[in-house]
Structure 1
Amino acid sequence: MFSNLALAYMFIYVCLGLIALGIILLFQMKIKHNAEQKQSELYQKKHRDYFMYVQAHLHDDVSLELPPGNLKALERRVIQDKFMEWIEQFKGEAQTKLIGLCKEAGFVELEIRALGSFRYGRRIEAAYRLGGMRAEEAVPALEVLLDRTKYGPSTIIISRAIAKSADRPDQIRAMLSKLLSYEKPIHHMAADILLETRLDSAGLMRKLLDDPNPGLVKVALVAMWGQAVPAVVPALDRLVGSEQKDVRAEAVKLYLSSNPVLKDETIAQLMNDGEWEVRAAAAKALGPLHAAGSIPLLSAALQDENWHVRNNSAESLSLLGEQGFDVLCQAALTRTGAARETALNRIERIMAKESDHEAVDQMVAFNKKKLLYESYFGVQPNKRTVQVARVGGDYTA
């Protein structure tokens, strides 16, 4: 009994000791961090004139001088951080000068050596800093580090560093292939990393669209969103018929977003595709394209088994004037199940926007739909006061 009680007391004392030790370590870390922050601010003030000198001569035809004096480790880090910040901000000759200055100051060499550090965190920090300095000579070492790193946030940091630093297209392709080899749904992340490169993005995307790896093709297609790359648009015609459903779906979305003139047989082919992503993309595009001839196909698509296809079809019908709205009203009255629910939901959303129309043409279009609605469902009492377009001046004299 006594021995058990003594053991319990000993356990409590050990726990209290560990807790006290942890608190002391946390306080030490906090004090150290605060001291480094304060010292960093002092170094920033110390080198303010040098920073102003660099900024003033970035766009001049002169060679920039190295940081003055014998620099301490933290002092070098402060200057390096400032250079990395400017490299992100500037382009062209100014960025090239800053990259060269980082090499001359020894910052790049120091971080390359740190890639072999025993501390994992230091290796990842070095990769991040090398990417920030666009250190093309560090790409081989970064590729080795990427091969040895298990999938996680660190792989994204290393991959982004390679994309920023690479000076050859094959390095970008190898990095993307390694990312996709983890078999994770990261195509959008990979596309974002791809756009970090300093290389010709149009040439890269054109090569990736012709790559035998469908994953790389999809990354290129995703990267094209929001990018004006006319040189690669012709490849979309070929990819729209790809056997890979993911590639075909992305290609169709891009193809339709370019506002093409669609033939009736093309519309029918897209709306009857075996993949719901393709049907949904086609249904969503037909409304903004004002393809009134597609109304029968959109009407049939209200009964599609996929919610996205049904919803996009109803949305496009609502954009196709009175004829499209009439089809929605008929579907709400005569059909059953999901088709009826989808049509009713879209009609309710349209009628709920009665007070949102300010332009005369918008109010006229809404009033026509309102008359159609009342012809099918009757007049709704005490619903809202209908806006009337006022034309002319005040005639009450």
Structure 2
Amino acid sequence: MFSHLIVAYIFIYICLGLIGLGIILLLQMKVSHNKEQHRREMYEQKHHDYFKYIQAHLEEEGALRLPPGKLKPLERKVIQEKYMEWIEQFKGDYRARLIQLCRDAGFVEADLKALSSVSFGRRLDAAYRLGGMRAEEAVPALLQMLQKGKYNSLSIIIARSIAKSAQKSEDVLEMLRILLSHGKPIHHLAADIMLESGMDASGLLLKLLDDPDPALVKVGLVAMWGQAVPEVMPVLGRLVGSEEKDVRAEAVKLYLSSNPALKDETIVHLMSDRNWEVRAAAAKALGPLHAAGSIPLLVKALQDANWKVRYNSAESLAALGEAGFEALCQAALSGAGIQREAALQRIELVMELEQEHSAIEQMVAYNKKRLIHDRYFGVKRKPVKRMTGVAAVGGDYTA
């Protein structure tokens, strides 16, 4: 019994010792962090005039002066981070001069050497800084580093550095191939990384959309959202008929969002596509496009097997004015099953939402739809609420 107590006491003392050691280590880390932060602030204050000089002389010709005096490691790091901050903020000649200043100060050379370090942490820090300095000469080593590593959050840091530093579209495409080779659904993230490149966006997008790899094509399609690139529209029209399901769906969404003057045969083709995502995207676009001629197609789509296609079709019919709303009422009255259900749901939603408008035009539109509704379904009178708990007043008060 006593031996068990001794073992228990020893275990408790060991645990207390480990807890105490952990607290001491945390305190040391906190003190070390505070000291480093204090030194950073001191170095920023020390080089305040130099930073002002750089900002004031960016427009002038000739080489910019290097930091004065012999710099300590942390001091160099503070100045390098300030350069990188400005490189992110500025464009054109200003950025080019700051990148050259990083080379002249030896920052690029030092980080290129650090890429061959035994420590992965040092290599990763160097990769991040090289991307921040747009060091084109680091791209081959960064590509090799990305190729050897497994996919994780650190891969994104390396990929962004490649996109920022690359001056050839082939390097960006190779980076995307490596990133997507792991089979992860990261097309939106890859598109975001690709757009950080300083190269011409239209040239990159054209190469992505023409690539035989469907994954790269999808990245190009995702990257096109929010990008006004007229040069790629012919390629986009071709991809609408792609055999790859995801590519075709994304291309159709983009094609319809560009608000083209759709031909009747194009609408029929899209509304009968074998992929429900394509049919849903087409149905959703027909309302905002004011394609009143597509009302019969939308009514037919209320019978689609996919609920999203039915929902978007009903929504577009409601957006096509009186003719579209009347078609909804007809479908709700004479239709059956899922068609009738989809039409009734949209009619109910329209009648609830539109009566809340206060603008004259909206009130007129609502009243027209109300008349159509009452013609098909009859006038629904609101029940009179009975007043309870109120004493009767009246009678003869003459005395």
Q: What TM-score does the superposition give when structure 1 sets the normalisation length? A: 0.92
Partner secondary structure for residue 233 of structure 1: helix
Q: Please list the CA deviations of residues 199-244 of structure 1 after superposition, one character each: whole Å capped at 9, or x if unmatched.
A: 1111111111111111111111111110011111111121111111
Identity of aligned residues (%): 66
Match of 2:53 in 1: 53
Per the alignment, residue 28 of structure 2 pairs with: 28
How much does 1:13 deviate? 1.5
For residues 17 and 342 of structure 1, the distance between their equivalents in structure 2, rounded to whole angstroms, comes to 69
Return the alpha-carbon distance in structure 2 between the equivalents of residues 341 and 111 of structure 1.
65
CA distance in 2: counterparts of 1:356 and 1:163, whole angstroms:
50
Is 350-359 or 174-183 further displaced after alignment? 350-359
Which residue identity is paired with 1:94? Y
Aligned residue pair count: 383
Report the AA paired with residue 80 of structure 2. Q
SS at match of 1:353: helix
Aligned counterpart, 1:275: 275
Write the letter of the residue equivalent to 2:331: A
One-letter identity of the residue aligned with 1:165: S
Query: Which protein has the larger Cα radius of gyration, Structure 1 or Structure 2?
Result: 2
The range that moved more, 272-281 or 299-308, is 299-308
The Cα of 1:88 is off from its aligned counterpart by 0.8
Gap change, CA 1:4 and 1:313, over 3 Å in 2: same
Which position in structure 2 is the counterpart of 1:357?
357
Structure 1 residues 343 and 34: CA distance shift in structure 2, 3 A = farther
Name the counterpart of 1:188.
188
Residue in structure 2 matched with residue 300 of structure 1 by the alignment: 300
| Distance change >3 Å, CA 5–CA 273, structure 1 → 2 | same
Match of 2:2 in 1: 2
Give distance in 1, aligned partners of 2:7 and 2:331.
78
- What is the rounded CA distance, in whole Å, between the counterparts of 1:298 and 1:18 in structure 2? 70
C-alpha change, 1:32 and 1:376, in structure 2 (3 Å) is farther
| Distance apart, 1:337 and its partner CA | 4.5
Q: Distance in 2 between matches of 1:345 and 1:191?
A: 38
User: Greater CA deviation, 177-186 or 107-116?
Assistant: 107-116
Contact 2:355/2:366 (CA < 8 Å) preserved in 1? no
- Aligned pair in 2 of structure 1 residues 296, 80: CA closer, same or farther (>3 Å)? same
Q: Which whole-Å deviations, capped at 9, do the CAs of 1:14-42 have from their partners, x for residues lacking one?
A: 11211111111111111111221121111
Give the 3 Å change call, closer, same or farther, for CA 39–355 of structure 1 in structure 2. Answer: farther
AA partner of residue 44 (structure 2): Q
2:178 is the alignment partner of 1:169: no
Corresponding position: 1:136 with 2:136: yes
Gaps of 5+ in 2: 384-399
Aligned residue number for residue 331 of structure 1: 331
Q: Are residues 382 and 99 of structure 1, via their aligned partners in 2, closer, same or farther at CA, if it must alter by over 3 Å?
A: farther
Q: Does 1:288 align with 2:267?
A: no
Aligned residue identity for 1:303: Q
Matched, 1:40 2:40: yes
Q: Distance in 1 between matches of 2:291 and 2:46?
A: 66
Alignment correspondent of 1:390: none
Query: Is it true that 1:19 corresponds to 2:19 in the alignment?
Result: yes
1:209 match: 209
Contact 2:64 2:101 survives alignment (8 Å): yes
Which whole-Å CA distance do the structure 2 matches of 1:138 and 1:130 have between them?
7
1:13 partner letter: Y
Q: 2-side partners of 1:354 and 1:364: how far apart?
A: 10
Distance 1:336 1:29, change over 3 A: farther
CA displacement at 1:360 relative to structure 2: 2.7
- Look up the match of 1:388: none
Alpha carbons of structure 1 residues 319 and 106: separation in structure 2 relative to 1, 3 Å: same
**Residue in 2 aligned with 1:242?**
242
Matching residue's letter, 2:186: I
Shift of 1:313: 1.2
1:237 maps to a residue whose letter is G
Amino acid paired to 2:254: L
Partner amino acid for 1:104?
D
Letter aligned with residue 295 of structure 1 = I
Distance 2:162 2:226 in 1: 23
- Alpha-carbon distance between aligned partners in 1 of 2:28 and 2:199, rounded to the nearest angstrom: 45
Q: CA deviation at 1:3?
A: 2.4
Aligned to 2:392: none
Q: Distance in 2 between matches of 1:208 and 1:159?
A: 17
CA-atom RMSD, angstroms? Answer: 1.7
What code does the residue aligned with 2:181 have?
S
**CA shift digits 1:272-331 (9 cap, x unpaired):** 101111111111111111111111111121222222212211211111001111222233
2:382 & 2:234 partners in 1: Cα distance?
A: 55
Partner of 1:75: 75
CA distance change for structure 1 residues 212 and 72 in 2, over 3 Å: closer, same or farther?
A: same
Evaluate the alpha carbon distance shift between residue 323 and residue 32 of structure 1 in structure 2; reply closer, same or farther with a 3 A threshold.
same
SS in 1 for 2:226: coil
